[in-house]
Amino acid sequence: MNAMTRLSVNINKIATIRNSRGGNMPDVEKAARDCETFGAEGITVHPRPDERHIRYSDVRAIRPGVKTEFNIEGNPIPSFVDLVMEVVPDQVTLVPDAHDAITSNAGWDTVANQEFLTEVVATFKSKGIRTSIFIDPVPAMAEGAARCGADRIELYTAAYAAGYHSGPAEAVRDYLLAASAARDAGLGVNAGHDLNLDNLEYFIRTIPWTAEVSIGHAIICDALYMGLEKTIQAYLSKIKIF
């Protein structure tokens, strides 16, 4: 059984449903607690400035109830930095998404942005917050993240998911190289974006030292048919494979 890889459930889509109607249905605080009850080993939120899904107020409200691991993702603009420093999650994941991005669509250039990222990482680590940098599957970007002082990288897995059905080995090749470079540099490896019940197990078998996968959209889509508890258990079965 692979005890290394943890499943963090991103609950942004639950907030999106709530916001589409107003009120508090579904209740994102309860959803976070339920995900943990059903077996999730972490809760991820990604607040954006326009608050179209998870709001800054949600982050503050959810934090006290999380008993596993709380991961906040986002672009480290001043308001985000202030929020993270106030809430003090277990992990912060730095994502270079524009304010109007539909979803995250690229990783950091850790070489070109080394000075900025080094400063941000140091700020968060001064509070004891584990810091991860979202990157494309490029070994040089993993090595750059290490030079920035990060604890982990998160591999942006959209390209892997897109190529999986036409050729899994080819789709995962660059990820294996980047994950190996990260491990050699002393970094932990997280992964996320478009991972689902079809492609998750192969990724974990190929990169078994993956510390954490963060999955939201696919889990909520599957939960429409399977229910949230059965869905979380199904995802856990794909990563607890050794």
Residues annotated as catalytic are 46, 73, 193
Q: Which residues contact 89 (CB under 8 A, 6 or more apart)?
A: 63, 70, 71, 72, 129
- Give Cβ neighbours of residue 169 (< 8 Å, ≥ 6 apart): none
Question: Token pair for residue 174?
Answer: 């660059």
C-alpha count within 13 angstroms, C-beta hemisphere, residue 141: 21
Longest dimension (CA), the chain: 48
Q: Cα(first)–Cα(last) distance of the chain, in Å?
A: 3
CA gap 82, 172 in Å, rounded: 36
d(CA 169, CA 56): 40
Task: Please list the residues that pair with 212 across neighbouring strands.
Answer: 6, 190
d(C-alpha 64, C-alpha 77), whole Å: 24
Strand-pairing partners, residue 9, are 43, 215
